């Protein structure tokens, strides 16, 4: 199934929840609304033709440039992306889904952006979403156990955000 067909088919089924696509990229991707990702994933997994049953990876990417000069040239508004890489063990094809989020929920600093969890669709998402939450600071709604996974429970901040600063001290250990 070509990319264009797939996008049309998904748009027909999910309407506004498919918010965009880029089919010219090296890995073409489809953009999904934060509230529809679980539905879309479930459909992609169960559809007899697609059978994208393996969730390879969930990655969080922070698009933020502190330097205003560079920010002007960057070509994007500051935002957060959550990227889902799916593949099929039956048909041997892959698909990339993206969810665009604001860096902070309602632009209130400290309020984490929210996206629907897909842990109910793919069990592997459980740990991946915890990692994205831990390192990038994205809240996955409906996740059964959204805790930090790599950093200690009492760690402050989200290290893979571009404006992250290492704490000065952690339990008496010098940070920077």
Q: Which residues bind other proteins (CB under 8 A)?
A: 25-27, 53-57, 59, 61-63, 74, 83, 85, 87, 89, 92, 94, 96, 122-124, 126-128, 131, 135, 148-152, 159-160
**Which residue, 12 or 69, has its beta carbon nearer to other proteins?**
69
At closest approach, how far in Å is the CB of 19 from other proteins? 18
Strand partners, 100: 81
Cβ at position 15, least distance to other proteins in Å: 27
Q: How far is the CB of 87 from other proteins (least distance, A)?
A: 8
Residue with tokens 């330097």: 67
Q: Which tokens sit at 102?
A: 């604001």
How far apart are CB 2 and other proteins at their closest, in Å? 17
Distance CA(156)–CA(171), nearest Å, equals 12
Q: Shortest distance, CB of residue 76 to other proteins, whole angstroms?
A: 9
In 39-102 the beta strands, taken as DSSP E runs, fall at 54-63, 79-87, 94-101
The nearer residue to other proteins, 7 or 71, going by C-beta atoms, is 71
CA distances from 171 to 81, 135, 157 (A): 32, 20, 15
Q: Helices H, strands E: what count in the chain?
A: 4, 9
Residue 96 phi, psi (nearest 5): -115, 130
Q: What is the dihedral of CA 36, 102, 82, 26, to 10 degrees?
A: 100
């Amino acid at each position: 199934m070509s990319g264009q067909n797939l996008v049309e088919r998904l748009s027909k089924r999910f309407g506004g929840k498919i918010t965009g696509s880029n089919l010219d990229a090296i890995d073409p991707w489809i953009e999904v609304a934060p509230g529809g990702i679980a539905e879309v994933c479930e459909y992609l997994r169960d559809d007899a033709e697609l059978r994208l049953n393996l969730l390879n990876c969930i990655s969080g990417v922070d698009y933020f440039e502190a330097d205003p000069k560079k920010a002007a040239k960057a070509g994007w508004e500051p935002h957060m992306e959550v990227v889902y890489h799916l593949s099929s063990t039956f048909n041997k094809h892959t698909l990339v889904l993206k969810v665009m989020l604001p860096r902070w929920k309602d632009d209130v600093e400290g309020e984490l952006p929210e996206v629907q969890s897909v842990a109910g669709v793919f069990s592997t998402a459980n740990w991946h979403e915890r990692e994205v939450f831990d390192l990038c600071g994205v809240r996955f709604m409906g996740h059964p156990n959204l805790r930090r996974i790599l950093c200690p429970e009492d760690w402050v901040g989200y290290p893979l955000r571009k404006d992250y600063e290492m704490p000065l001290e952690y339990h008496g250990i010098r940070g920077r």
